[in-house]
Amino acid sequence: MLLTIPDVLTVAQVKEMRAKLDAADWVDGKVTAGYQAQRVKENHQLPEGHPLAAELGEIVLGALARSPLFMSAALPLRVFPPMFNRYTGGGHFGTHVDTAIRAMASTGQRIRTDISATLFLAGPEEYEGGELMVEDSYGSHSVKLPAGQMVLYPATSLHRVEPVTRGARVASFFWIQSMIRSDADRTLLFDLDQGIQRVAAEAPGSGAAVALTGVYHNLMRRWAEM
């Protein structure tokens, strides 16, 4: 499932974060890339464990916790601490698949990367190029969102970032280990949850909503990994 989460951050939050990121000292993005990714990755990022990354990451995590759409779609068990990257002057990231298991620099705890997330911190008008291209069985999808919006997509997907030919593409990126390992099962649960919410809104007190909610939670019991 590829899904846009609108308005994760407010305009004020984006402005505050950008002011700090624009003044930050960036390092070569290859420092966190695997062997294959190092060959196709040309960008800059804040080092893992950098105090600014930790500070801004807390803002992102707080915003995610307040997003019902994110919680419904991701069903998160663990979220990798948000990282931050910057693409300028032709910077790009060639086609790759994200590393399956990542260890948190602060604790060493490992998470399985079920879902990849990109939270845009620069608006489309600020740069040319830089589209996130995500490939699935239906083809290649181009994603370039307003600042403060986020896209979720399966970490198993082949994806790339097109060269940035003008301006700077600034974003936060991270991964989620979901309680539901299978993308297909997560999609079914998400669609069911959205349907339950519509039924509840259109027919308050409906017995159908209660029955469907029971189905939802019984599927969670069957599929969830804790």
CATH number of 3-178: 2.60.120.620
Percent of the chain surpassing pLDDT 70 = 97
| Model pTM above 0.85 | yes
For 183-223, CATH gives 4.10.860
**Residue 178 near residue 3 (C-beta atoms within 8 A):** no
pLDDT in the model for residue 102: 95
pLDDT of amino acid 34: 58
pLDDT in tens, 36-61: 666 789 999 999 889 999 999 999 99
Residue with tokens 């919680």: 71
Average pLDDT value for residue range 21-41 = 79
What confidence score (pLDDT) does residue 33 get? Answer: 61
**DSSP states along 31-71:** GG--HHHHTTEE-EEPPTT-HHHHHHHHHHHHHHHT-HHHH
- In the chain, domain spans: 3-178, 183-223
Residue of higher predicted confidence among 170 and 28 = 170
